[in-house]
Amino acid sequence: MAAKTTTFFVLLFFSLNLQCSSSDNWIRAGYWVSSSAFPVSEINSALFTHLMCAFARINSSTYHILIDSTYEQSFSNFTNTVKRKNPSVITLLSIWAGKQDSAIFSSMINQSSSRQSFIESSIETARLYGFDGLDLVGVMAGNSTSMTNLGTLLEDWRAALVASESSNSGKSELLMVMTGYNFSETRLLSYPVESMKKSLDWVVVLAFDYYLPTRYNFTGPHSALYGSSSSSSWLNVNNSIQEWLNRGFLATKLVLCMPYHGYAWILVNANDNSVGAPASGQIINIDGSMGYKYIKSFIEDYGYGAASVYNGTFGVNFFTIGQTWINFDSVEAIRAKVSFAKEKGLLGYSVFQLGNDDNWELSTVAKGQGGKDQKNERPLLIIILIIVAMAILLIGTIVCYLKRKFNLKSRMKNRTSATENFSCNGHNLLVLSFTTIREATDNFASGNKIGEGGYGPVYKGRLPNGQEVAVKRLSKFSHQGWEEFKNEVELTERLQHVNLVPVLGICNEKEEKMLIYEFMPNKSLDFYIFASLILYTDPHRRYLLDWRKRAHIIEGITQGLLYLQEYSNFTIIHRDLKASNVLLDSDMNPKISDFGMAKAFTKDEREANTRRIVGTYGYVPPEYVRNGIYSKKYDVYSYGVLLLQIISGKRTACYYGPNDSFNLLEFAYKLWKDGEGMEFFDSSLDDSSSTWKLMRCMQVALLCVQENPADRPTMLEVYTLLKNEIATITTPREPAFSFTRDEDEEINKCRSEMRKCSINYESITQLVPR
């Protein structure tokens, strides 16, 4: 028996070793960008073989590696953090050398001593922070002199890495990678290909963002994405890769870089939406860029069922609604590009950037599409794998049978206890079977899908009694889970208020976790108020909420928060109040939803803290980001941001004012302080016939977003200030996360904190540090 067991494991080890040798060489890499506000701890590193931590910079005087002090902790913990989920993942320190830093890089490579300083510092930094390799990003093809110097740098760098390995016993040689852009035949520029082939482990080819309109310049018509329609040589993914192959680079040392972003433009003519059609400007960001998760949300909110079209020539999806034109990489595009990389015999793929994925949807598809090439498998390997599979199946069947028999009673007891616990706590809480929910949603048909958040997709359904409901189903890729599921049920079943969305029931069956809500037919508040998008999709929707209706919604939200903080049995801190979490019923009455992140206090508690930072960037107060402290004033801050959005129709993700230099809070404060508050309001609003005045709402909102929680009013004070026009109102201080400070305040705060928390949607897309 022992001999047979030994033979089996030898066979198993041999077959798995063969399998690994065939598949482990396939690169599945991804970039984490420190300025994107996406936490390292949230990276699903199990989906990747390599992860790049971006970006370190180059000191302009010493040419040593420079890491922004704001992100130094993330860089130092990066390798340990991502290896907790995937111990085999390989990490690389990504060094930026392009755009505004290109002059520093050029100066460095032109001098032997400077090159040596850079090389020694890069290796020392990588070893210090536990990285497995180095990645050079941003270097464009150039003239012969600069490229000769680049070749010298790469060869010296490789030699230093080899020497470093011999001097660091027990440590393997660091990988050496470089990001390359597309060549341009018209410029006759090139990279030092021979030096790169000899020195680099691979090159990441950025095969996207071709011929974009000039950034920061939208005074006249520009072509959408790919330049004017008269262009005779449009670039695409195939051309970019082929150019590298034509210059003698090996396919097995090329990695295809794919974007998790797209671009949104305003068409000059809504009827001319072909590739290269004239565009007059951007929709959201200053360069027109939008992250994949934001694009997906945009299409769901404003698409009215229209579908995106995949263009195989350019390898992207196109979507047009009204005068809005969007291109992006969808699941279909990612799948096609990974297949293309395999067909070309490339080493693998890399994605930019991880924070723009939506519940790891794109990364999961990419991983599933990649892997070993079946055509190259040996017949012997196939036979061995079949034998191993049969043996594993037999053993697994026996083990599973015994384990199921042993644990069945315990599992059923736990499940029954959980269901009974929910049933007992809620007087009217329904416990529905999976079959009932599946039938109610027509087997979770895509046509019944009405939204998706961090928890998972939401479906419209109809119960057997005819009641319309919304079903929130936990996604297997969700960062949330059982604790959030239980938290929402246990909190909301106790809360009864007209301005809160009640949980009607639950389903906790067959590994499924679902929450059943009262259906809100008029969607969420953000569907109506953000005019910058609606203007080019449905110009009439922004007028559906006049000031009278918006004042009614503001009052309802205020009443809902008052109940949570003052009048319920517990003090409830929502921690995720935002426009998309305010739902509207058939009469446009607001109801606060999504209590998965909420916390309950007893009435004598005032604040608490946590190490787990949750919430939506742009609505999160500074004391929570810095120290994890949350109290009633957390929701007051979020309420202030939301109130500014309601009266202006503006998003937190955009920048405003001269040269787009102010975030939403700063812009509102500056206009109010300069006596120009009327310029901030949505132009469609008129408060002349209402007791609720726009200017007073603006001042109250600015009081709510002050940096010191003690300076912010309570929700009871907010309600009094809004309802009573003669109530004394104080002068607000400058809001949190501002670039500037009042001259009489000597407060030295880090400017980068604004970047971390003021962006509602991650849409940083260009491969440049910001």
Q: Which sequence positions are flagged as catalytic?
A: 576
Relative to beta strand 261-267, strand 289-291 is antiparallel
DSSP string, 104-151: HHHHHHTSHHHHHHHHHHHHHHHHHTT-SEEEEE-PPPB-HHHHHHHH
- Mention every residue, 6+ apart, whose C-beta is less than 8 A from residue 725: 691, 693, 696
Q: Nearest 5°: phi and psi at 71? A: -110, 5
The type of residue at 107 is S
As a whole number of angstroms, the distance between CA 156 and CA 163 comes to 11
| Among 553, 496, 492, residue whose Cα is nearest residue 522 | 553
- Mention every residue, 6+ apart, whose C-beta is less than 8 A from residue 53: 32, 34, 74, 75, 78, 91, 92, 93, 94, 131
As a whole number of angstroms, the distance between CA 201 and CA 454 comes to 37
| Among 531, 532, 525, residue whose Cα is nearest residue 550 | 525
DSSP string, 629-644: EEEHHHHHHHHHHHHH
As a whole number of angstroms, the distance between CA 438 and CA 443 comes to 5
| Among 488, 473, 484, residue whose Cα is nearest residue 425 | 488
For 470, half-sphere exposure in the C-beta direction (CA atoms, 13 angstrom radius) is 24
In angstroms, how far is CA 359 from the centroid of its own chain? 9
| Among 660, 613, 663, 617, residue whose Cα is nearest residue 637 | 617
Q: Nearest 5°: phi and psi at 275? A: -60, 130
- Mention every residue, 6+ apart, whose C-beta is less than 8 A from residue 99: 138, 768
Q: Nearest 5°: phi and psi at 204? A: -90, 115
| Signed CA dihedral, 561, 565, 566, 568: sign only | positive
Burial 536-569 (b: 16+ CB within 10 A, else e): bbbeebbeebebeebbbbbbbbbbbbbbbbeebe
What CA–CA distances, in Å, run from 126 to 49, 60, 174, 175, 618?
18, 19, 8, 10, 33
The type of residue at 479 is H
Name the maximum alpha-carbon separation found in the chain: 92
Q: Using DSSP, state whether 374 is helix, strand or coil.
A: helix
Helices 632-648 and 664-673 sit at what angle, rounded to 10 degrees?
Answer: 70
As a whole number of angstroms, the distance between CA 319 and CA 300 comes to 12
